Amino acid sequence: MSKVPLTVVGADTLRKELHNLKTVERPAVINAISEARAQGDLSENAEYEAAKEKQSFVEGRIIELEFKLGSAQIIDPKTLNADGRCVFGSTVVLEDVNNGDVVTYQIVGDDEADIKKRKISISSPIARALIGKSSGDVAEVQAPGGVREYEVVEVQYI
């Protein structure tokens, strides 16, 4: 079984979601199913079908989260000692070589990725191009519009 890399924050988020599913969502779905059953004929009961569908989703997500957390390799970026290199969990300040735009990204697991929060997946093209780079290095990223070059300005472990 392969390990799923997660940051401490990402693992915590998944644990909270799992807790919510088990303590809030699952009981609510069970209640909705029993209320729909009480209405009688199940063959034409839309509420019953909707509740069963929601139950299927909730149970599937619980299984998925338990698997991911069970096979997680939790990495705390604050404890990394990567000699200034870009690694999983690091926060990287980049400058676009062509236009001078500066952006900051944290390299995280697939489940944590959220571009609005400046968190990019370890499996994304830009993260793959950055891994192993240090301040001053230039990373070439194959983007849909062609190759883009980013200079690594700073690597942080926060």
List the domain boundaries for the chain.
4-75, 77-156
CB neighbours of residue 148 within 10 Å: 18
Q: What is the per-residue pLDDT for 65? A: 96
Taking residues 93-114, what's their average pLDDT? 95
Looking at beta carbons, which pairs linking 39-44 to residues 24 or more positions away fall under 8 Å? none
pLDDT digits (tens, 9 = 90+) for 38-86: 887 777 788 889 999 999 999 999 999 999 999 999 999 999 888 999 9
- The reply to whether CATH 1.10.287.180 applies to domain 4-75 is yes
pLDDT digits (tens, 9 = 90+) for 104-124: 999 999 999 999 999 999 999
Q: Rounded CA gap, 123 and 111, in Å?
A: 11
**CB 152 within 8 Å of CB 94:** yes
Q: Are 4-75 and 77-156 in the same CATH fold?
A: no
Q: Rounded CA gap, 126 and 142, in Å?
A: 8
Taking residues 93-105, what's their average pLDDT? 95
Q: What is the architecture, at CATH level 2, of domain 77-156?
A: Roll (3.10)
Q: What is the per-residue pLDDT for 1? A: 59
**CB 90 within 8 Å of CB 82:** yes
At residue 81, φ and ψ (nearest 5 deg) are -130, 85
pTM of the predicted model, to two decimals?
A: 0.84
